[in-house]
């Protein structure tokens, strides 16, 4: 039977010989409310949507991560030139399996600046991974990191096509890194953009975990805003405030035990008090999180040899770099993405691209140097990627003596993995140790798309990064369990470049 418009399916009875209801009994009698006997009330636990089996766990805040290698993705939005003019790329034999003149020209290197010129030393191995000697990205790295730091770095370049100048490439592996065990004492994932991936390029959709969506962090105030201990610390000092918080927690625990509720609810309430106490104890000192108070990052005292000057830290690129690297490397966040825009720099010059690449290099160098300088930090993995790439037509920008970037070109794209180990340079697997390259370029300067499962599949590149992250922990054997039906299952063994470091 169809309900008429403007009427209710079960309206209350309005009797002409009854007054309007005023008491609870009268409301019940005329159907305006229902009796409690007809309602099964949910417990507080079900209202909170908590699974009883998982309600009780160790909820103490440590301030540190899950014991995994910190991970930072650097997302160069727009299609940066990574291969050739920055990180050297070669044929099937590796980085120094030389391309032909046309190939290097396409990658922005004229004959007199290419590895084909026997009169120059075109290769720089300061980071062990081979860079072009005049790479702007390398110059930026060297501007922020010392050679002793960079000697502890190893890396691989991975030729892999991706669509040009679009955020639709599923290149960001951050959720997979979390699924592989990375986590933080305060946050699981962070990113500098308010997107599902935390950057420009998207994450592989199948890996998305809504409740772990990255928290946006792109400046020091975002970092310090994560924890607010009020005036308690200011009035009593860190130790005194911690004692007060712990006393409150103890008193609250006694009161909670008197509540007639499920034990799991009591555990949740106690957990909230414990975490509040931990926040005050661990982060009551503002310097515990604030990048601007970290003398390894910035300081007015030259004796501190800080990574950034105060003027640099006023620039957006360095603010976001400092904020993300402090949270991730100190274990407060498990993994993070730093996005830099404007890398679609084919504007009829070479100088614009050189300046952009230098800035990206400074960010990489800062992360590596912070890992070296900070006694709280151990190792770190960096994934450098971009949406597509560029090519040159051979015309030279005389200001820098290299080819002008003319066009977007997805066939020259590559990703780069760098790993820093505090105790000394990490090892590569024997098959990659001399080539430092997985996949290769054709001699004419294009990605060989048949080289492996990654070469023509951006999502597979993200999966490969996760595989190598797991290999750093000796857990690559768990990859197919965590990520069944991945695009790299057919040639996984050949896609691992790094050996275990933890």
Residue 151's pLDDT is: 98
The most confident of 173-187, 249-263, 279-293, by mean pLDDT = 173-187
Report, as an integer, the average pLDDT of 437-457: 98
- Rounded to whole angstroms, the Cα distance separating 314 from 1 reads 69
Residue 55, pLDDT above cutoff 70 = no
- Rounded to whole angstroms, the Cα distance separating 203 from 381 reads 18
Report, as an integer, the average pLDDT of 393-412: 97
**pLDDT band, residue 66 (cuts 50/70/90):** confident
Domain boundaries, the chain: 71-222+289-495, 227-286
Report, as an integer, the average pLDDT of 342-368: 97
- Strand pairing partners for 215? 190
Report, as an integer, the average pLDDT of 202-223: 97
Token look-up 């160069």 returns 76
Residue 28's pLDDT is: 44
List the structure tokens of 63.
């301030």
**pLDDT band, residue 226 (cuts 50/70/90):** confident
Residue 435, pLDDT above cutoff 60 = yes
Output the CATH code of domain 71-222+289-495: 3.40.720
**pTM of the model as a whole:** 0.81
Query: Which of 44-48, 148-152, 375-379, 491-495 is least confident?
Result: 44-48
User: What's phi and psi for 98, nearest 5 deg?
Assistant: -65, 140
More confidently predicted of 310 and 61: 310
Report, as an integer, the average pLDDT of 226-255: 53
Residue 164, pLDDT above cutoff 90 = yes
Residue 20's pLDDT is: 64
More confidently predicted of 11 and 127: 127
List the structure tokens of 33.
């409310």
Report, as an integer, the average pLDDT of 116-136: 97
Residue 131, pLDDT above cutoff 80 = yes
Residue 39, pLDDT above cutoff 90 = no
List the structure tokens of 73.
């993705």
Residue 26's pLDDT is: 54
Residue 236's pLDDT is: 41
Query: Which of 22-36, 170-184, 245-259 is least confident?
Result: 22-36
Residue 7's pLDDT is: 44
Residue 191, pLDDT above cutoff 80 = yes
Task: Spell out the SS3 assignment of 298-326.
Answer: ECCCHHHCCCECCCHHHCHHHHHHHHHHH
**pLDDT band, residue 479 (cuts 50/70/90):** very high
Report, as an integer, the average pLDDT of 353-379: 97
Residue 288's pLDDT is: 83
Residue 141, pLDDT above cutoff 90 = yes
Under a CB-based contact definition with an 8 Å cutoff, are residues 264 and 55 in contact?
yes
**pLDDT band, residue 206 (cuts 50/70/90):** very high
Query: Which of 178-182, 226-230, 286-290, 307-311 is least confident?
Result: 226-230
CA nearest neighbour of 467 among 438, 430, 498, 421: 498
State what percent of residues in the chain have pLDDT above 70: 75
List the structure tokens of 112.
């007199």
Residue 227's pLDDT is: 76
Residue 144, pLDDT above cutoff 80 = yes
- Rounded to whole angstroms, the Cα distance separating 293 from 258 reads 44
Query: Which of 56-65, 116-125, 150-159 is least confident?
Result: 56-65
Q: What is the DSSP letter of 212?
A: G
Report, as an integer, the average pLDDT of 200-214: 98
Residue 303, pLDDT above cutoff 50 = yes
Residue 496's pLDDT is: 98
**Separate counts of helices (H) and strands (E) for the chain:** 15, 11
For the chain, the straight-line distance linking the first and the last C-alpha, in angstroms and rounded, comes to: 68
Strand order across the beta sheet in which 187-191 lies: 153-159, 414-420, 380-386, 71-76, 333-340, 187-191, 215-216
Which segments of 95-224 does DSSP mark as H helices, in order?
101-106, 136-144, 147-150, 174-179, 220-224
Token look-up 């008197």 returns 258
CA nearest neighbour of 136 among 331, 443, 332, 345: 345
Residue 238, pLDDT above cutoff 60 = no
């Amino acid at each position: 039977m169809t309900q008429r418009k403007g009427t209710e399916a079960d309206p209350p009875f309005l009797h002409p010989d009854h007054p309007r209801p005023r008491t609870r009994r009268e409301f019940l009698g005329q159907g305006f409310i229902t009796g409690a006997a007809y309602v099964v009330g949910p417990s507080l636990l079900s209202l909170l949507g908590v699974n009883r089996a998982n309600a009780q766990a160790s909820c103490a805040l440590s301030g540190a991560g899950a014991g995994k290698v910190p991970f930072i993705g650097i997302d160069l939005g727009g299609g940066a030139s990574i291969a050739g003019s920055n990180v050297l790329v070669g044929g099937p034999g590796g980085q120094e399996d030389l391309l032909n003149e046309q190939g290097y020209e396409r990658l922005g290197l004229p004959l007199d600046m290419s590895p084909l010129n026997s009169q120059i030393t075109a290769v720089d191995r300061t980071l062990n991974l081979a860079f072009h000697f005049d790479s702007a990205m390398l110059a930026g790295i060297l501007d922020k990191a010392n050679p002793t730091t960079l000697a502890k770095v190893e890396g691989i370049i991975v030729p892999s096509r991706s669509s040009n100048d679009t955020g639709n490439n599923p290149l960001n592996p951050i959720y997979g890194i979390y699924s592989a065990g990375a986590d933080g004492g305060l946050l699981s994932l962070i990113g500098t953009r308010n997107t599902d991936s935390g950057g420009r390029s998207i994450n592989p959709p199948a890996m998305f975990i809504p409740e772990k969506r990255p928290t946006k962090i792109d400046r020091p105030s975002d970092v310090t805003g994560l924890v607010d201990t009020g005036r308690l610390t200011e009035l009593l000092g860190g130790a005194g405030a911690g004692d007060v918080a712990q006393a409150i927690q103890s008193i609250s625990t006694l009161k909670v035990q008197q509540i007639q509720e499920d034990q799991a609810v009591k555990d949740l309430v106690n957990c909230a008090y414990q975490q509040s106490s931990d926040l005050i104890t661990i982060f009551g000192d503002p310097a515990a999180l604030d990048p601007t108070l970290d003398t390894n990052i910035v300081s007015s005292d030259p004796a501190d040899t800080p990574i950034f000057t105060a003027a640099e830290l006023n620039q957006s690129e360095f603010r976001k770099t400092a904020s993300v690297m402090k949270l991730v490397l100190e274990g407060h966040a498990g993994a993070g993405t730093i996005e830099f825009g404007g890398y679609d720099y084919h504007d009829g010059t070479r100088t614009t691209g050189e300046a952009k690449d230098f800035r990206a290099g400074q960010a990489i160098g800062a992360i590596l140097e912070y890992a070296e300088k900070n006694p709280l930090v151990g190792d770190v993995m960096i994934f450098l990627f971009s949406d597509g790439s560029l090519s040159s037509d051979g015309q030279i920008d005389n200001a820098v003596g290299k080819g002008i970037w003319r066009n977007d070109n997805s066939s020259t794209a590559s990703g780069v993995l760098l790993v820093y180990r505090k105790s000394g340079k990490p090892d590569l697997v024997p098959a990659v140790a001399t080539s430092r390259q997985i996949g290769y370029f054709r001699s004419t300067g294009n990605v060989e798309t048949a080289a492996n499962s990654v070469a023509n599949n951006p999502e597979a590149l993200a999966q490969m990064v996760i595989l190598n992250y797991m290999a750093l922990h000796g857990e690559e054997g768990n990859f197919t369990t965590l990520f069944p039906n991945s695009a790299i299952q057919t040639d996984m063994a050949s896609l691992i470049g790094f050996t275990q470091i933890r």
